[in-house]
């Protein structure tokens, strides 16, 4: 009998220790995984070393979080203490967020501003991504004597030449997450050949998807491009295939610099004629239901401190938001990107700005368009039908 008590005691002790160890960790939820997450993990490690506060990083996509969080908030709970999420979504659920006004009072923001709702800072932009255009390997272009295009016919000619190279499956790789890299490509085409005003009009609903100017962008530019683009491939697999030379160019955001073996081999060009590129912040919030609110605020403060931001800048893949971080803090690939973006204006990412049901419909319809360009009429109709009313 005594031995049973002993076993029970040990089990209880182990459980308490386990639960204690688990409970002590600050839970950080972000969208990045693998190589893309490494620079952020380095910042979290620095925070742990400095404060002694242990953390657990969990990868969760914003589209998954959007389905989990409302129910959790309804129960007065949250799955994490610091969570990265879409800006429009944070604004919609602002009542459930802790006020971070004091935490970021001294941060000199560049590019973007914190998300303030009813005088409360509910979302803090941590880093900025840009989607500058099509990436290529300098070594690949040099081997086949290819050059970035300077005009639309030049671009089509480049696609034809790449497609003709033996071993190349298609000229351009099309990455697919839940449809978002396709949306980035589409937005780039609209910006380049529809113009910034059309682009912004589509965001605020004053321009219809079935309008002649938008239809022209699709019919005259995007659909012809699809003849040279692959079917949607899971985007990290597409990255590997493109890097191996199965595809010549790949449209992706600047986080790609942190995901390839040799960032110095990367080159990028925007579509000829483009004057603007899309970009936006990765925003985090602290739920007011966090059981470790003060520690979460400490982490938020560290992430936004000059030390934390410089550390993140050194990891590459994103631009940090503090204006007082020197360009020398970035790796060479980011510095080259910043130089390449001179003269371009930055506009907000369309689907992240509109959000909601429309965002999901946009992704899904583009997946259809990519393999069925003939479905263009249906695609544009659905995008107008699904656009938020009012």
- Binding residues for other proteins restricted to 355-374, rule: CB under 8 A: 356-357, 360, 363-365, 367-372
Nearest CA to 145 out of 133, 157, 127 is that of: 157
Per-residue x/- mask for other proteins, residues 26 to 65, rule CB under 8 A?
----------------------------------------
Least separation, in Å, of the C-beta of 108 and other proteins? 36
- Of 54 and 234, CB closest to other proteins: 234
Q: Which stretch binds other proteins (CB under 8 A): 12-20, 117-125, 173-181, 259-267?
A: 173-181
- The minimum distance between CB 262 and other proteins, in angstroms, equals 23
CA nearest to 242, candidates 157, 132, 136, 371: 136
Residue 237 within binding range of other proteins, rule CB under 8 A: yes
For 69, half-sphere exposure in the C-beta direction (CA atoms, 13 angstrom radius) is 29
Strands (E) located in 242-350: 247-252, 266-269, 276-285, 319-320, 345-348
Helix (H, G, I), strand (E, B) or coil at 267: strand
Stretches 29-37, 189-197, 232-240, 346-354: which one binds other proteins (CB under 8 A)? 232-240
379 is a site residue for other proteins (CB under 8 A): yes
Tokens standing for residue 299: 């982490």
Which tokens go with 121?
A: 């800072």
CA 387/CA 57 separation, integer angstroms: 35
Out of 41, 178, 346, 376, name the contact with other proteins by CB under 8 A. 178
Q: Which stretch binds other proteins (CB under 8 A): 101-109, 175-183, 251-259, 275-283?
A: 175-183
Contacting other proteins within 118-147 (CB under 8 A):
none
Distance CA 333, CA 87 (A): 27
Nearer to other proteins, 174 or 290 (CB): 174
Among 115, 241, 333, 380, binds other proteins (CB under 8 A): 241
> Cα separation of 212 and 45, whole Å?
52
Measured distance CA(133)–CA(153) in Å, rounded: 17
CB of 227 to other proteins, least distance (A): 13
CA distance 333 to 296: 32
Of all residues in the chain, what percent are helix, strand and coil, respectively (each to 5)?
55, 20, 30
Residue with smaller CB distance to other proteins, 220 or 231: 231
- The dihedral over CA atoms of 244, 248, 250, 256, expressed in degrees to the nearest 10, equals 40
Q: Residue 132 or residue 232: which is nearer to other proteins going by CB? A: 232
Name the CA radius of gyration of the chain, rounded: 23
Alpha-carbon distance of 358 to 184, in angstroms, equals 15
CA distance 50 to 295: 13
Q: Does 319 bind other proteins (CB under 8 A)?
A: no
Write each residue from 250 to 279 as x if it is in contact with other proteins (CB under 8 A), else as -, in one continuous string.
Answer: ------------------------------
- Looking at 25-33, 53-61, 172-180, 318-326, which segment touches other proteins (CB under 8 A)? 172-180
By CB under 8 A, name the one of 36, 66, 130, 248 that touches other proteins: 66
Task: In whole angstroms, give the CA distance from residue 251 to residue 318.
Answer: 16
Residue 211 DSSP symbol: S
Q: Give the one residue of 149, 232, 263, 316 binding other proteins; rule: CB under 8 A.
A: 232
Candidates 98-106, 111-119, 258-266, 376-384; binding stretch for other proteins (CB under 8 A): 376-384
CA atoms within a 13 Å half-sphere pointing along the CA-CB vector of 243 = 16
Q: Is 90 in the site for other proteins (CB under 8 A)?
A: no
Q: Does 375 bind other proteins (CB under 8 A)?
A: yes
By CB under 8 A, name the binding residues for other proteins: 66-67, 70, 176, 178-179, 231-234, 237, 241, 356-357, 360, 363-365, 367-372, 375, 378-379, 382
């Amino acid at each position: 009998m005594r031995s049973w008590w002993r076993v029970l005691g040990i089990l209880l002790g182990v459980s308490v220790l386990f639960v204690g160890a688990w409970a002590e960790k600050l839970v950080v939820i972000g969208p990045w995984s693998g190589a893309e997450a490494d620079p952020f993990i380095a910042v979290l490690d620095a925070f742990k070393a400095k404060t002694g506060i242990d953390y657990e990083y969990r990868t969760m996509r914003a589209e998954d979080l959007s389905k989990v969080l409302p129910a959790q908030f309804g129960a007065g709970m949250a799955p994490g203490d610091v969570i990265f999420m879409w800006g429009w979504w944070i604004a919609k659920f602002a009542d459930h967020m802790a006020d971070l006004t004091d935490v970021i009072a001294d941060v000199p923001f560049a590019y973007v501003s914190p998300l303030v709702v009813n005088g409360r800072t509910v979302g803090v932009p941590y880093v900025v991504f840009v989607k500058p255009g099509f990436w290529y390997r300098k070594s690949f272009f040099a081997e086949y004597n290819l050059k970035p295009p300077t005009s639309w016919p030049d671009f089509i000619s480049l696609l034809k030449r790449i497609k003709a190279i033996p071993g190349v499956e298609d000229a351009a790789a099309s990455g697919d997450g839940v449809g978002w890299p396709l949306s980035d490509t589409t937005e780039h085409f609209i910006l380049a050949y529809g113009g910034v005003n059309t682009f912004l009009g589509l965001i605020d609903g004053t321009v219809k998807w079935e309008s002649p100017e938008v239809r022209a962008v699709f019919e005259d530019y995007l659909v012809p491009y699809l003849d040279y683009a692959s079917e949607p491939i899971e985007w990290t697999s597409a990255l590997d295939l493109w890097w191996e030379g199965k595809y010549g160019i790949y449209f992706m955001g600047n986080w790609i610099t942190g995901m390839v073996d040799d960032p110095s081999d990367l080159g990028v060009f925007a579509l000829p004629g483009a004057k603007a590129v899309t970009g936006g912040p990765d925003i985090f919030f602290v739920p007011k239901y966090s059981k470790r609110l003060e520690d979460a605020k400490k982490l938020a403060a560290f992430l936004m401190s000059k030390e934390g931001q410089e550390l993140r800048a050194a990891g590459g893949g994103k631009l940090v938001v503090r204006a007082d971080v020197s360009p020398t803090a970035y790796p060479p690939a980011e510095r080259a990107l910043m130089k390449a973006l001179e003269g371009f204006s930055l506009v907000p990412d369309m689907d992240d700005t509109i959000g909601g049901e429309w965002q999901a419909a946009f992704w899904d319809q583009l997946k259809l368009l990519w393999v069925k360009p003939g479905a263009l009429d249906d695609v544009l109709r659905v995008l107008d039908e699904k656009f938020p009313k009012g």
